[in-house]
Amino acid sequence: MGRAAVASERSPLRDRFAAVRSLTLELTDRLSDADASVQSMADASPAKWHLAHTTWFFETFVLRDHVAGYALHDERFPFLFNSYYEAEGRRHARDRRGMVTRPTLDEVRAYRAHVDASVEAAWPTLPAAARELVALGCHHEEQHQELLVTDLLHLFSENPLEPALFPAERKVPVAMPGPIGWIERGEEIVEIGHAGDGPSTGLGTGFAFDCEGPRHRALLSPHGIADRTVTNGEWAAFIADGGYREPRWWLADGWAWVKAGAIGAPLYWEEQGGGWTRFGLDGRRPIDPAAPVTHVSFFEADAYAAWAGARLPTEFEWEAAASAFEAADGNQLDAAGAVEPRPAEGGAAFFGDVWEWTGSAYRPYPGFRPQEGAVGEYNGKFMSGQFVLRGGSCATPRGHVRASYRNFFYPHQRWQFTGVRLAKDL
Amino acid sequence: MGRAAVASERSPLRDRFAAVRSLTLELTDRLSDADASVQSMADASPAKWHLAHTTWFFETFVLRDHVAGYALHDERFPFLFNSYYEAEGRRHARDRRGMVTRPTLDEVRAYRAHVDASVEAAWPTLPAAARELVALGCHHEEQHQELLVTDLLHLFSENPLEPALFPAERKVPVAMPGPIGWIERGEEIVEIGHAGDGPSTGLGTGFAFDCEGPRHRALLSPHGIADRTVTNGEWAAFIADGGYREPRWWLADGWAWVKAGAIGAPLYWEEQGGGWTRFGLDGRRPIDPAAPVTHVSFFEADAYAAWAGARLPTEFEWEAAASAFEAADGNQLDAAGAVEPRPAEGGAAFFGDVWEWTGSAYRPYPGFRPQEGAVGEYNGKFMSGQFVLRGGSCATPRGHVRASYRNFFYPHQRWQFTGVRLAKDL
Amino acid sequence: MGRAAVASERSPLRDRFAAVRSLTLELTDRLSDADASVQSMADASPAKWHLAHTTWFFETFVLRDHVAGYALHDERFPFLFNSYYEAEGRRHARDRRGMVTRPTLDEVRAYRAHVDASVEAAWPTLPAAARELVALGCHHEEQHQELLVTDLLHLFSENPLEPALFPAERKVPVAMPGPIGWIERGEEIVEIGHAGDGPSTGLGTGFAFDCEGPRHRALLSPHGIADRTVTNGEWAAFIADGGYREPRWWLADGWAWVKAGAIGAPLYWEEQGGGWTRFGLDGRRPIDPAAPVTHVSFFEADAYAAWAGARLPTEFEWEAAASAFEAADGNQLDAAGAVEPRPAEGGAAFFGDVWEWTGSAYRPYPGFRPQEGAVGEYNGKFMSGQFVLRGGSCATPRGHVRASYRNFFYPHQRWQFTGVRLAKDL
Amino acid sequence: MGRAAVASERSPLRDRFAAVRSLTLELTDRLSDADASVQSMADASPAKWHLAHTTWFFETFVLRDHVAGYALHDERFPFLFNSYYEAEGRRHARDRRGMVTRPTLDEVRAYRAHVDASVEAAWPTLPAAARELVALGCHHEEQHQELLVTDLLHLFSENPLEPALFPAERKVPVAMPGPIGWIERGEEIVEIGHAGDGPSTGLGTGFAFDCEGPRHRALLSPHGIADRTVTNGEWAAFIADGGYREPRWWLADGWAWVKAGAIGAPLYWEEQGGGWTRFGLDGRRPIDPAAPVTHVSFFEADAYAAWAGARLPTEFEWEAAASAFEAADGNQLDAAGAVEPRPAEGGAAFFGDVWEWTGSAYRPYPGFRPQEGAVGEYNGKFMSGQFVLRGGSCATPRGHVRASYRNFFYPHQRWQFTGVRLAKDL
């Protein structure tokens, strides 16, 4: 039986499972054992942990719970590689994940191979509930792919040698984007959120995380939203104008953060020879003034907006505007290309490049209910103190993001590819 | 000319100024110099600082800015008694306010008297803009009256002797409230916020802080809101059911807070002889099961709601419901009575007793713009990381609160008189 | 019976008790209730606490333990005013002593009066053991008199107004001291330590704290010890030469302390108008270049010595040299004068002015045994991590210090009147 | 020319250099890249760092300074692998050493090979000063060999899987040691310290670190010193008697350390199934009651001595007693055996097994002068806050320790193989 024939027997979900699992390996194939094991800060996790934790998800919720007779690959791994699932028992302290030099990277890869083979072998007999969990596991792993990339970037930035993980791509010079245009809208009731009621087996647009629903009606006030994000060049002007030294642009918590951390530029920026450089997965290079600014915190985004006489969009304004565009077209993560925001090339690029801070606190939609059981601890736990980001970034796997997608981080965090789109009241 | 004649010449604002200034003094008349000088935590300020800071407001924005030839009472006071007004120059570090043993309490009282007399003397010639600032200063001082009372409660609770600041009132036994009733409402667009555009000279309902506006339309989802707040008796049942030991009721940040602080009951509660007691301004006493629970954090309020199968109301749901009631009827602060939530006496007491945590993050309304100038730093600076509370408490001065009033604190804070009203989706 | 007659019946110990108790009151008679209640840092205690703790000592170990039928003045005070006496039961946390605004300063003064009167009344019947404890309590109170003064200085320095507790004394200009002379000595076995075996009832030189003994023989190496302490003028030269910016003069821990605290001068020094000023109990004034430098840490003292090509003396070298001089002649604390190091006036002033850091860690002498019982927890507990200082200061009560006296502080501490005497190897 | 002929030309120092460099590699040959890269706490360094730092020493002080034309292996390494040598320029922050995943372990091994070959090639022309530095570098590397082993033990203990780095040795059961015998001595002047004046090229006993001198005379008081160290069995009795719960045995700082860290047993001990186990390089196993207790802090050692009615020896008492024994006989580190204290086998084993805390603070000897230049920053920098340990441990390379050897750690540290020998006054 030839390869095509086999493929024809495969469901899209089974292909997606294989593709997702494979991309994670590709993203990590240049890593040394140490690169994969070290934890550079409490917010980040070692690459090895991401590799194992995503595997633990499938082993636990698919194999252990739905495949009769499945024996754990290693009885000790659940304690090591569980994360926030309190219902699943004790966990290894989050900020000590970098202590686990054993199992090695190769042993974790073997763990992946074992679980992948077990899922493949069990596929024909997997019940629908298990397949739903496979789909959820794929989306879960895609989230970790992005974290894996940004955590590695942070780790490499902490090495005084500033090594490049990926080779630099040749950059095609791009013209500077023109001035911001505004997409305007009057008062209107819009439908917000994903139509499904929490996670489902659907692929692509059929799937959503629990926090994206329930779909509900929301009232927008008259406003305009920018047709592109803020650029590095514009950000350099903010710095040159004393933006980081002037308290009136800043929220009180943001100003305290600036003072305590002696913050004066986006993360990974450094002034060298009179110009700004940034550190990326291809090493340290001059900033591209035409590219979207990234690695800024909510505090910085909010201060920039105040300085620019604008504000951040609400997540509803963003979703209403983005729904007119196709998520698939953005500059996102795949195995081949560079992981870096690219200069905006005209049009309203709502997807990819940089996550866009909104002015909306991450809170539940009307009618939101956490799912029952361990998997249900998923997103609702984090609904205090964080802000919503929308649109995905250059590190978000292709196909992972959609208009209703809600990412969330604390207002001081900026090691993700986070950027700024402006809005204004009409 | 007799006293009645003089009074007849007085404007309501002038009377209000006198009344507010007088209440602050009455609230502090039992304090020793040390009681008034010590700072018990970074969140709290010494009573003396409240006395002086509220005075500094009038001296700076009314006398200095609007009364020709006014000389500062003491050139050194602005540095000591400014607070968050960055535009007004350097400030004494907030967490070192308790170091200022000089000026003494008596000297601060003299500062008050001097400024009060100066305002009175200048009254006939005060321009309208200055009168507006007097009105704003009265509302500002009322805010500090509440903080003054709660900061003193915290200070006294830190003294192992647990002294009573006020004598205990004789308590009239009250029947336990019946089960919660639900005020239900379908989808509806409502008007939210104060009609005015920021602070104004209006008295009573005519005034609002900048963050209460602009008035705008908001869409409510179908929901029910409880007709009373949660009681001490109900809270004791939550504790007895292991509410503080069960992570599934808690937000992740809340659970971390519980573990880090070994939290197991509302602030000021202590188990003694098999029953719960609470510390109050009248000392330590058994809890009253019929009275509203207070001194709970947002985290606790949210966990309780999850345990009860409900949720917290949004600030819009709360405002829509409360608008049907009269703010003036609540159990609020005045010079005479005890400062303590009282058993709910039937009816929907939306005002007084306890501030009610809402599920809404404290963020600007559509069209919100901070005011220009120093006074304009007022509220917008704090719009990250905090949650909105509504309704006022037993420590809120009478006349200070209204349906549109937005108070805000961080989700872990609980030294204010904070409580819980439940809501549910329909 | 006349006053003279009564006096004639009084023992020297009884007089000493009255004098010591009276001096403490005099030192605090200018304090406001708040001055006496606030704690400015964890290392310091409120003046009220010193007033009460020293009283608690007499009430507990003399009255409670030795006077039949004595009833505690207030049952709650032992918990508040015990300090490090673990054997005496639970204690109020050291860093929360500033929370105790009640009892007031006046109530603590009443506590003092009650205990003083009770001791006086019980005097004729006090057994010898109780009299020994009275003597110990006097020495204990003298230690607290010095802490009281230095803690107040620290508190006042934290007030941005920098108030003066005492009026400034008119300063008589004094000639700059000449270059340091060296008192030299060859290898020699000397007797070190106090002859007594721990505390005793002896007055004056008859008394010693437990850590000053047992007297034992020690071998000195050939060395020279300076005939005066380092002056402010010499210290300013050290600063001007970059002393605080050059790591090679500093111990590793000291350099870390300099960097972490951005230390660049002695505590309370501030550059104003191109010259150095210092804050003292008489307010802020220019430094006197001829006076001994003070408020320097061990780290600073050690770095200065390295810069000067010298070292600190050992405590044995110091004691051997100081034994030739009379302790009573120094510039020490009494009710009348200013509390400030004075320009050295010739001769080898080993006593008074400033405590002199030695290079000796605070460790037990051969044969040292802690005393049994609660009082015995006294000094041995602190024999790790601290360095010995010798000679007393301008804040040490007259009669309290002697050649064998061992004071001790951590190497970073400098809120005491601490200074530097150099030594060198021969 | 054959291999034998070459060897015959080799000096003892050249052999020593080869042997030391080789042992370091052998100690690390089981490590994964991650094992070698992770830093488990600020006090510890990654194995890779030890491998590189010891190599940097030879490259810098021998090759760079004394071999014409030598080019650095990598210009970026000095910044990464310098440690406390301030004079050598900026250094990578100590607590971020674990961020350096690149260079890899293999690249660091290549660095070692390059430097070793360069030293070998330059050997015939090395001036005497360079050979002295080779000798110093060997002793320096031996110090790091011990740290390397103890840092790895700490790292592996932080892994919840508690992996064993080395296979377990079969243990020969050993009889329990008898009661402690006392080596007594009256008052006596003894010679203390190494005769040399700082580091020298001498091999074996000819070498000493700067802090071991100058040799000088010291006076001992009459005392007894135990003829063996305290055992695990004796320590278990201390625990069972409540030793960790009784403040009177503890120094104040020690008691604070016990409370803050909830300390109740030596580091790496854990109660399992009613008995005590310890973690070692061969994994977790039951304690051997006959073996010396180890991984105890100075605070614990001091408390145990107080409980036992004894005290710790001074470093002079220890050195005087140990001088009668041969350092070469102890249980020390070599490539073959287990790294673990063994049951004392009779006789006075002053060397090997466990470092013995003395009661002496680490301070300079009379006449001590730091060496000039970068190498001279060596030991004098650390002479505050630490206590002296003597005798070497099972992780100290054979030939590295001697009677005059002064090791030093802070009183709370216990990740080294640290134990207790008692002493008493006569």
pLDDT over 80 at B377, yes or no: no
Instruction: Inspect the interface and report whether the beta carbons of C364 and D367 lie closer than 8 Å.
Output: no
Length of chain B: 426
What's the pLDDT score for residue D173? 65
Whether C424 contacts C224, CB under 8 Å: yes
pLDDT over 60 at C42, yes or no: yes
Task: For D290-323, write each residue's pLDDT tens digit.
Answer: 999 999 999 999 999 999 999 999 999 999 999 9
Among the ranges B205-209, C403-407, D81-85, which has the highest mean pLDDT value?
A: C403-407
What's the pLDDT score for residue C345? 63
Strand order from edge to edge, sheet including B407-409: B407-409, B387-390, B355-361, B418-419
What's the pLDDT score for residue D192? 97
Model confidence band, residue A342 (pLDDT cutoffs 50, 70, 90): confident
Instruction: Inspect the interface and report whether the beta carbons of B381 and A252 lie closer than 8 Å.
Output: yes
**Higher-confidence residue: C376 or B263?**
B263
Tell me the C-alpha distance between B41 and B96, whole Å.
Answer: 10
User: Could you give the C-alpha distances from A362 to A219, A298, C362, in angstroms and in order?
Assistant: 18, 13, 56
Tell me the C-alpha distance between A222 and A357, whole Å.
Answer: 20
Mean pLDDT of chain C: 90
pLDDT over 70 at D161, yes or no: yes
What's the pLDDT score for residue C343? 74
Give D272-278 contacts, CB < 8 A, sequence gap 24+: D276/D232, D276/D236, D276/D239, D278/D232
Provide the CB-side half-sphere exposure for D89 (13 A, CA): 8
Tokens of B243: 């509410």
Tokens of B397: 């001065």
**Higher-confidence residue: B169 or B17?**
B17
Q: Which residues of D touch A159 (CB under 8 A)?
A: 99-102
Model confidence band, residue A350 (pLDDT cutoffs 50, 70, 90): very high
The nearest CA of chain B is from the CA of A133 a distance in Å of 21
B307 close to A (CB below 8 A): no
What's the pLDDT score for residue C130? 96
Mutating which of C30, C77, C101, C109 best tests the B interface, going by the most B Cβ atoms within 10 A? C101
Q: Rounded mean pLDDT of B158-176?
A: 81
B161 close to C (CB below 8 A): yes
Mean pLDDT of chain B: 90
Coil, helix or strand for C415? coil
**Higher-confidence residue: A365 or B202?**
A365
Closest CA to B283 of B394, B153, B150, B151: B153
Instruction: Inspect the interface and report whether the beta carbons of A96 and D161 lie closer than 8 Å.
Output: no
Task: For C280-299, write each residue's pLDDT tens digit.
Answer: 999 999 999 999 999 999 99
The nearest CA of chain C is from the CA of D176 a distance in Å of 31
Task: For D339-366, write each residue's pLDDT tens digit.
Answer: 999 876 655 579 999 999 999 999 999 9
Instruction: Inspect the interface and report whether the beta carbons of C248 and D86 lie closer than 8 Å.
Output: yes
pLDDT over 50 at A7, yes or no: no
Coil, helix or strand for A388? strand
Instruction: Inspect the interface and report whether the beta carbons of B102 and C155 lie closer than 8 Å.
Output: no
Tokens of C233: 């003028």
Whether A276 contacts A240, CB under 8 Å: no
DSSP letter for C66, please.
H
Task: For B28-84, write each residue's pLDDT tens digit.
Answer: 999 999 999 999 999 999 999 999 999 999 999 999 999 999 999 999 999 999 876
The residues pairing with D192 across neighbouring beta strands, listed in sequence order, are D216
Tell me the C-alpha distance between D222 and B35, whole Å.
Answer: 58
Percentage of the residues of chain D whose pLDDT score is greater than 90: 79
Model confidence band, residue A6 (pLDDT cutoffs 50, 70, 90): very low
Provide the CB-side half-sphere exposure for B244 (13 A, CA): 18
Tokens of D108: 């660091």
Domains annotated on chain C, with CATH: 3-158 (1.20.120), 182-425 (3.90.1580.10)
pLDDT over 90 at B1, yes or no: no
Task: For A18-65, write each residue's pLDDT tens digit.
Answer: 999 999 999 999 999 999 999 999 999 999 999 999 999 999 999 999
Which of B198-202, C402-406, D136-140 is the least confident region? Answer: B198-202
A298, A366, A411: residue with CB nearest B221: A366
Tell me the C-alpha distance between D295 and D412, whole Å.
Answer: 11
pLDDT over 50 at C198, yes or no: no
Q: Which residues of B touch C35 (CB under 8 A)?
A: 101-102
Identity at B411, one-letter amino acid code: P
Pairing between β-strand A407-409 and β-strand A387-390 as defined by DSSP bridges: antiparallel
- Please provide the DSSP assignment of D229-270 as one string: PPBHHHHHHHHHTTGGG-GGGS-HHHHHHHHHHT--SSTTEE
Model confidence band, residue B176 (pLDDT cutoffs 50, 70, 90): confident
- Please provide the DSSP assignment of A268-323 as one string: TEEEETTEEEEEETTEEEE--TTSBP-S--HHHHHHHHHHTT-BPPPHHHHHHHHT
Whether A224 contacts A426, CB under 8 Å: yes
Tell me the C-alpha distance between D189 and C189, whole Å.
Answer: 10
Q: Rounded mean pLDDT of C411-419?
A: 98
Chain A to chain D Cβ contacts (< 8 Å): 83
Which of A269-273, C14-18, C397-401, D81-85 is the least confident region? Answer: D81-85
Selected residues 130-149 of chain A with any CB under 8 Å from a CB in chain B: none
Tell me the C-alpha distance between A269 and A277, whole Å.
Answer: 5
Q: Rounded mean pLDDT of C176-186?
A: 93
Instruction: Please give the backbone phi and psi of residue B239, each rounded to the nearest 5 degrees, phi first.
Output: -65, -45
Q: Please tell me which residue of chain B has the smallest CA distance to A219.
A: B219
Identity at D194, one-letter amino acid code: H
Model confidence band, residue A9 (pLDDT cutoffs 50, 70, 90): low
Task: For D233-273, write each residue's pLDDT tens digit.
Answer: 999 999 999 999 999 999 999 999 999 999 999 999 999 99
Model confidence band, residue C265 (pLDDT cutoffs 50, 70, 90): very high
What's the pLDDT score for residue B7? 41
The nearest CA of chain A is from the CA of B424 a distance in Å of 8
D158 close to C (CB below 8 A): no
Task: For B210-249, write each residue's pLDDT tens digit.
Answer: 999 999 999 999 999 999 999 999 999 999 999 999 999 9
Q: Rounded mean pLDDT of A340-367?
A: 87
The residues pairing with A409 across neighbouring beta strands, listed in sequence order, are A387
The nearest CA of chain A is from the CA of B258 a distance in Å of 14
pLDDT over 70 at A144, yes or no: yes
pLDDT over 90 at D92, yes or no: no
CA angle A343, A347, A351 (to 5 degrees): 70
Q: Rounded mean pLDDT of B15-24?
A: 96
Q: Rounded mean pLDDT of A131-141?
A: 94
D32 close to A (CB below 8 A): yes
What's the pLDDT score for residue D338? 77
Which helix or strand (DSSP H or E) is residue A285 part of? strand A283-286
Model confidence band, residue C92 (pLDDT cutoffs 50, 70, 90): confident
Question: Which sign, positive or negative, has the C-alpha torsion D19, D21, D26, D27?
Answer: positive
